Each structure stands twice: as C-alpha cells, then as structure tokens.
Amino acid sequence: MACNFFTRYSFTFSNAREFRVMDIFNTILAIGLTIGAALFAYVGLVMNQEMRTGKPHRMFWERKEKRKIFDKSDLEYKDGDNT
C-alpha cells in the first residue's frame, strides 16, 4: 500500500480531495500556454496595425516617455576622473 502512494504522487488534504502533482503541473502549463498564445496574438495585431497605418504603436510594456539621448558634454568632470 505504501508503494502505491509513491507511484501516484498524490497529496491528501483535510477535505478528502486529492490533487495529483501532474494535475497541478498540467493546469500551470495550460495557463502558461494560454497567456503565451494571447501575447502572440496581441503582438501580431499590433504589427498588423503598424503596417496598415504606417505609424508606430506602443506596446503595453514599453515606456510612455522617450529617454533623453546621452550627451557627454553635459557631464561635469572632477579632478580624480580618468577621462
């Protein structure tokens, strides 16, 4: 009987429901694949809109403001700098 527990990899909770490790793994994998497919579809739609309109479109993970271009002449050098 003890060998059966280790071959099934099951956990028993107080309300007598059993969750197998593979069921939990399959659920996490399904959620991950669904999120990945949604992200793939979103990027495809944004690329299609950019090609159709000719204007760039900001993705939801990109910053709203643009970064300032680095200008070396704006730096103040001190006596100990090796530049």
Express each pLDDT in 25-64 by its tens digit: 889 999 999 999 999 999 999 999 999 998 888 888 887 7
Tokens 């060998």 map to which residue? 3
The pTM of the full predicted model, rounded to 2 decimals, is: 0.52
Q: Is residue 34 in a domain?
A: yes
The pLDDT, as a whole number, for residue 16 is 43
Total of domains in the chain: 1
Q: Rounded CA gap, 53 and 70, in Å?
A: 31
The pLDDT, as a whole number, for residue 8 is 57
**Domain limits at 18?**
8-64
Q: Is residue 55 in a domain?
A: yes
Q: Is residue 2 in a domain?
A: no
Q: Is residue 44 in a domain?
A: yes
Q: Rounded CA gap, 46 and 73, in Å?
A: 38
Q: Is residue 28 in a domain?
A: yes
Residues 1-16, mean pLDDT to the nearest whole number: 52
The two structure tokens encoding residue 21: 């490790």
Q: Is residue 73 in a domain?
A: no
